[in-house]
Structure 1
Amino acid sequence: MFQERSRKLGQVSSCPARFDEELGIWVVDDPGEVRGVLLDPETFRPDNALVAHTPLSVKALRVLSSVGFALPPTLANNAGPSHRPIRAAVARFFSPARVAAIEPFTRRLVSERVDAAWELLDSGPVDLVETIAAEPPALVVLEMLGVRDVDVPALKAWSRDSLELFWGWPGEDRQLELAHSAAEFYGWLRTRTEAARRLAGDDLFGVLAGLGLTDEEICAVAYFLLIAGQETTSQLISTAFHRMLTEPAENPVEQVLAEASSVPTWRRVTAVPVSVGEVELPADAPVLLGLTGHGGPADLAFGIGLHRCLGAGLARLEARVAVERAEPLLAAVRLVEEPPPMLELLSFRAPSRLLVRR
């Protein structure tokens, strides 16, 4: 079912906007129209960017409510006046100078895991997603944000569960499991926020507390950043690895960003009736924007305008380093599963496993 939905989302249409009955959302794929939508946040608002695509059940909502779970407008879902100061504060963590300075650390992390993969291959098949792509982006973004003492495997599990909860199609039982995971993550964020209140520091939580944000706003920023800042990069690396194993390219990272990015779509909602091309959209219409695979530039995968991905430069650096360091390994192995099992969500798509052998 996920594969069929993904196939439909990847279809090219000459229509500037079409309503997808199954998804219940207007789909815009043309790169020029997508660019226009992203550059007009007053008409096409980001209010629904972090709303669960599959409505949450009463049981799931109760679990989230038990920890005070809330995602008030902060970054990706904010078109108000508070967006700019929050974005400016976070952007300092991802300045070009800081991104350049993190490259040696990134290269060391990736090299250690590529070396480990070479050794594991002597004993049988190896999953390149878990062995190489999974943890380095998390360790890098935590270093960039100054956040210490984090259980990285737990962060990865929380992140994957939250992506499925908000961008997937989980049934009620699965949704309840995911809600417990999201509540656990949010509880951890609450604890870190309370600690920052007591002892201000220069890490992400301390900086946000210094802005005068509420606890809910701090948790919302951290929730989004600690998921998007690493899990999407792991997915980009995994997708680039898959491309190199099946269709070797001169510049696989940029090719993947242009043709099959791990974040293929993003959402907006119309504030007023508006035309996209010659198609009339009503007010309050949810819109799904195709960011990749429709002939647009690679850079469009990171969005454009006020809500462009703050970590675009970092993601490109990490993916480039991973591809460069893993290239000899990828040339010496073959896929055990083709196609590999995939993560298939509304706005996230990547190999969930890349099992290879010599």
Structure 2
Amino acid sequence: MTAAVLDLSAPSVVADPYLAFAQARAQAPVQWHEGLGLWLAFTHAEANAVLRDRRLGRIWADREPADRFADFNLIHRNAILEMEPPDHTRLRRLITSAFARGHVERLRPWVQELAGELADGLVERSAGTEPVDVLSGMAEELPVAVIAELLGVPDADRPLLRPWSNAIVKMYEYGRTAQVEQDAERAAAEFVGYLRALAAERRRAPGEDLLSHLVGVRDSDGDRLTEDELVTTCILLLNAGHEATVNVSGNGLLALLTHPDQLRRLRADPALLPTAIEELMRFDSPLQLFERTATADVAIGGVTVERGQKIAALLGSANHDPAVFEAPETLDVGRTDNPHISFGAGIHFCIGAPLARMELQATFGALLDRTSSLELGADPVRRPEFVIRGLATLPVVLTP
């Protein structure tokens, strides 16, 4: 058995995990990590198998002590991401039915207009001389606004959403403090309470937003979402949807700024934007690790994951596997052979992927359309977490 020596909290790994991933992949495709008490899958084939093998499931266990994490546990116990069939099948069918009302296309013109307004604001403030933070000025603004518009959250309440989400997702990191846990539970409780009240309003006066459709959706057997499932689905849409989009925007723009030849190539040929978005997701993945639990003994990558043991797919490592990607350390905005797994795979493939792709194309398209040049204005600051990989600040000089 090969034991992983990778310290996922080491500053050098948080700053750039890809060299460490390459070294680990050369040792063995699946390795045991003693500190985390789980297996790590480093290669694309094994990480993909982890995501697809039905004997490796998302088995939620409440955080203990349960009374201390009542609302955090509630929003995970009822989440589609933490379920397996048949519960997962039922819940995904209901959510997909609500999503199928054309919400992504309904929002596309609005998202493009908003992206343009945000980009205009950044360009005006920068004016080719002053660095402005693209994260706070655009990357963080747009996805939250989109999810809020999708759900029909009133304008006055929208500033509440991102702080709640930020606090909750910090619980997914390793080595978290008691204060982080306390903040996450408080945020979960406030978010749950807010959404219960908003859902009650939609029952009284439904609209054309996704929340109204989730409230009213029924399948052919008359089944519908419970209130806990409804609340949890809305929170998951915000947490998973906006965190990933914010971090692809930040990580991706930084990648383009540090590869000016690719930025010039994309500017010269805007038709490359869809493939460029996929490449930016592959090149510096917003989610680095996704855990599964074995429900039976599973042979994978030359080891046996015993029933009850956990194994994690290292998505960023898989997306840089030279067995699958030619020149994986090279950023190529025209890469067409790109089976990255940043959106997951199998039954847990991201249900919001079409929405995320639309937002990212609008963001990068607006920045390119409204500038003649983009340049780093100062060193970016990376967030100190490994699992959810993103930047804290990204100062950029934008020239009209």
Match of 1:268 among 273, 292, 295: 292
Gaps of 5+ in 2: 1-8, 219-223, 267-274, 325-337
Residue matched to 1:155: 161
Residue matched to 2:272: none
* Gap change, CA 1:108 and 1:29, over 3 Å in 2: same
Amino acid of the structure 1 residue aligned with 2:11: Q
Shift of 1:354: 0.4
Amino acid of the structure 1 residue aligned with 2:123: W
* Gap change, CA 1:96 and 1:275, over 3 Å in 2: farther
Are 1:343 and 1:351, in contact at CA under 8 Å, matched by a contact in 2?
Answer: yes
| Residue 136 (str. 1) matches residue 165 (str. 2) | no
Residue matched to 1:111: 116
Residue matched to 1:121: 126
Aligned to 2:235, the other structure's residue is in SS state: helix
Shift of 1:105: 1.2
Amino acid of the structure 2 residue aligned with 1:306: I
Are 2:152 and 2:211, in contact at CA under 8 Å, matched by a contact in 1?
Answer: no
Are 1:147 and 1:203, in contact at CA under 8 Å, matched by a contact in 2?
Answer: no
Residue matched to 1:239: 251
TM-score of the two chains, using structure 1 as the length reference: 0.85
Q: Return the index of the structure with the highest Cα Rg.
A: 2
Match of 1:11 among 15, 21, 31: 21
Are 1:71 and 1:216, in contact at CA under 8 Å, matched by a contact in 2?
Answer: no
Shift of 1:334: 2.9
Aligned to 1:229, the other structure's residue is in SS state: helix
Shift of 1:357: 3.5
Amino acid of the structure 1 residue aligned with 2:90: P
Shift of 1:83: 1.8
Residue matched to 1:294: 320
Match of 1:230 among 242, 251, 260: 242
Amino acid of the structure 2 residue aligned with 1:103: R
Amino acid of the structure 2 residue aligned with 1:109: L
Aligned length: 349
Amino acid of the structure 1 residue aligned with 2:320: H
Residue matched to 1:219: 231
Are 1:75 and 1:221, in contact at CA under 8 Å, matched by a contact in 2?
Answer: yes
Q: Take 2:207 and 2:375, find their aligned partners in 1: how far apart are those partners?
A: 47
Gaps of 5+ in 1: none
* Gap change, CA 1:8 and 1:299, over 3 Å in 2: closer
Are 1:257 and 1:298, in contact at CA under 8 Å, matched by a contact in 2?
Answer: no
Bigger shift: 201-210 or 273-282?
201-210
| Residue 181 (str. 1) matches residue 187 (str. 2) | yes
Are 2:98 and 2:214, in contact at CA under 8 Å, matched by a contact in 1?
Answer: no
RMSD in angstroms over aligned alpha carbons? Answer: 2.9
Shift of 1:164: 0.7
Shift of 1:84: 2.1
Shift of 1:288: 1.2
Residue matched to 2:278: 254
Amino acid of the structure 2 residue aligned with 1:39: R
Matches within 5 A, 1:18-29: 18-29=31-42
Matches within 5 A, 1:313-328: 313-327=354-368
Residue matched to 2:396: 356
* Gap change, CA 1:309 and 1:96, over 3 Å in 2: farther
Match of 1:34 among 42, 47, 53: 47
Aligned to 2:179, the other structure's residue is in SS state: helix
| Residue 102 (str. 1) matches residue 102 (str. 2) | no
* Gap change, CA 1:21 and 1:96, over 3 Å in 2: farther
Match of 1:343 among 356, 373, 383: 383
Aligned to 1:352, the other structure's residue is in SS state: strand
Residue matched to 1:278: 302
Deviations 1:65-124 (A, max 9, x none): 379844224411110313223212322454495434432211100100111001111484
- Percent of aligned positions that are identical: 25
Are 1:240 and 1:323, in contact at CA under 8 Å, matched by a contact in 2?
Answer: no
